[in-house]
Amino acid sequence: MPKTITPFGQSLRERKKLKTREAIQREATRLFQKQGYEATTIEQIAAAVEISPSTFFNYFPSKEDVVLYDAYDPMVATLFESRPSDEPLSVSVHNVLEMLTDTLERDREIILARSKLILETPDLRARLWSEIERAQVFFGAMLAQRTGGDANDFEFRVVAIALVAAMMEAASEWVRLEGRVKMGDLMKRALDSISADSMLDAFSSRRK
Amino acid sequence: MPKTITPFGQSLRERKKLKTREAIQREATRLFQKQGYEATTIEQIAAAVEISPSTFFNYFPSKEDVVLYDAYDPMVATLFESRPSDEPLSVSVHNVLEMLTDTLERDREIILARSKLILETPDLRARLWSEIERAQVFFGAMLAQRTGGDANDFEFRVVAIALVAAMMEAASEWVRLEGRVKMGDLMKRALDSISADSMLDAFSSRRK
DNA sequence: AGGATAAGTGGAGTCACTCTAATTATCAAG
DNA sequence: CTTGATAATTAGAGTGACTCCACTTATCCT
């Protein structure tokens, strides 16, 4: 048993591990972009990183996870949770996106490339949706917290999934537009579309 | 070149093909339920149907498709398209579900079993979402038709995906409740939740 | 009965992924 | 700085989905 708890990433072991993890993601992404996701084999990635194929699976449970794994995910979650719980969720969404504007701008190229890869590759796209189910649970909890209800209620689940799906479409649109517009604005438009009148309009057509 | 166009499923060939297709689905589903989706191999299915594994892939492009393939899909689409285009979409949804009540009641057990399998199996669940993207396009077109807009507009895509996601959640709930309630009612509740006030409430919490 | 056409099949191969047992690197402590 | 524990890396064998292809067999049309 170690005498002192070694801070994360401080020991040689931890640093090496992190470096390897990043190297795998970097090389994998590079190869995916160069020759396509499906045309790239684990063997090729392993060769590029100079590790054995076995080691690859020590770091990522599947080929898909190399792309899907998002380091910013927990950060975004934290940002949301730090928002005052009496703030309307739509406003929170916008605010969180505002806080992320700089990061989004700085890493635009990388994020865009990665997102495109996901959107264009059926396998990855399918897997994305299971990430979305995690988001559904998260936002369901947020909604419940804000209204004092039970997150497991059918209504919350419905609103949460619709919300997340809409945000997903906004993100796709952002990618389609090469990140030329602010993601926060797209999210706002998306949320506006499904809430309030416009949704009803679309629903009930010329009746109103 | 044949002199007359042979009606679908009339010739020996066609009838046999249909029978085999059904046999594969039947046996596959049976095995999946008995021993789980992943634990069942193509070889086992082929053996049960008394065909070769090669033949399996002549009928279904992948193991997933045996479960996902839905014969009722085009029927539902037709029902929607036969609805008057000045009918609000939410009403159309309800009406279509009403028309399907009998079928849903009659085939309840089979549909339930199949749906459970899909919802419980991560691989199938992920694939379901790509079906949903097809539904998004379909409903996007419906919305556009009803409002006279362009189905490719961002707003339509957003509303369509939110709509479909909500319906999806309603369907899941139906499965969870073992089909004890009418699917149409769940859909109605789901659509009510995302449209109009309740959504706004959830969004803006105690402010209103 | 005939050849055209489609369905079924066997076999070889690829690739993602699993499991296991052995090897090597790092670590904590004396 | 050596040692025993622990974690990381690896090779290798195996499984199962899926592809490709050449070949046989069944159905069809005339």
- Residues B145, B53: one domain? no
- Among A158, A180, A189, A199, most B C-beta atoms within 10 A, so best to mutate, is A158
Say what the pLDDT of residue A187 is. Answer: 94
Q: A204, B127: Cβ pair inside 8 Å?
A: no
Helix, strand, coil shares of chain B, percent, nearest 5, are 75, 0, 25
Assign residue B39 the CATH number of its domain.
1.10.10.60
What are the tens digits of pLDDT across the range A55-95? 999 999 999 999 998 878 889 999 999 999 888 888 899 99
- Among B158, B167, B199, most A C-beta atoms within 10 A, so best to mutate, is B158
Final residue of a domain: which of A42, A61, A80?
Answer: A61
**What percent of chain A stands above pLDDT 70?**
89
User: Which residue among A161, A195, A205 places its CB closest to the CB of B166?
Assistant: A161
A3 falls within a domain: no
What is the per-residue burial (b if ≥16 Cβ within 10 Å, else e) of B3-22? eeeeeeeeeeeeeeeeebbe
A4 falls within a domain: no
Task: Tell me how many helices (H) and strands (E) chain A has.
Answer: 11, 0
- Residues B93, B193: one domain? yes
- Residues B19, B77: one domain? no
Final residue of a domain: which of A21, A40, A61?
Answer: A61
Q: Is the pLDDT of residue B4 over 60?
A: no
Query: For the CA atoms of B76, B78, B81, B87, what is the dihedral angle to 10 degrees?
Result: -50
| Residue A164 touches chain B, beta carbons under 8 Å | yes
Q: B-chain residues within 8 Å CB-CB of A91?
A: 204
Task: Measure Cα distances from A26 to A32, A49, A110, A113, A121 in Å.
Answer: 10, 9, 10, 12, 18
Q: Are B140 and B160 in contact (CB under 8 A)?
A: yes
Please state, as a whole number, how many other Cβ atoms lie within 10 Å of the Cβ of residue A99: 16
A6 falls within a domain: no
- Residues A144, A46: one domain? no
| Residue A196 touches chain B, beta carbons under 8 Å | yes
Q: Where are the alpha helices (DSSP H) in A12-121?
A: 12-35, 42-49, 53-59, 63-68, 73-81, 89-106, 108-120
Q: How confident is the model at residue B208 (pLDDT cuts 50, 70, 90)?
A: very low
- Residues A97, A195: one domain? yes
Q: Is the pLDDT of residue A183 over 50?
A: yes
Q: A147, B201: Cβ pair inside 8 Å?
A: yes
- Residues B48, B141: one domain? no
Q: Is the pLDDT of residue A42 over 60?
A: yes
Question: What is the dihedral sign for C-alpha B177, B178, B179, B180?
Answer: negative
- Residues B93, B185: one domain? yes
- Residues A52, A89: one domain? no
Domain count, chain A: 2
Interatomic distance B8 CA / D30 C1' (Å): 22
| Residue A86 touches chain B, beta carbons under 8 Å | yes
B178 falls within a domain: yes
Longest dimension (CA), chain A: 74
- Residues A111, A31: one domain? no
Q: Is the pLDDT of residue B6 over 70?
A: no
Say what the pLDDT of residue B139 is. Answer: 95
The label of the residue with tokens 């409903």 reads B139
- Residues A48, A142: one domain? no
Mean pLDDT of B136-150: 92
Q: A-chain residues within 8 Å CB-CB of B120?
A: none
- Residues B172, B195: one domain? yes
What are the tens digits of pLDDT across the range B74-129? 899 999 999 998 888 888 999 999 999 999 999 999 999 999 999 999 999 999 88
- Residues B85, B181: one domain? yes
Is the CB atom of residue B68 positioned under 7 angstroms from any atom of strand D? no
What is the per-residue burial (b if ≥16 Cβ within 10 Å, else e) of A164-182? bbbbbbbbbbbbeeebeee
Question: In terms of residue numbers, what domain contains B46?
Answer: 12-63
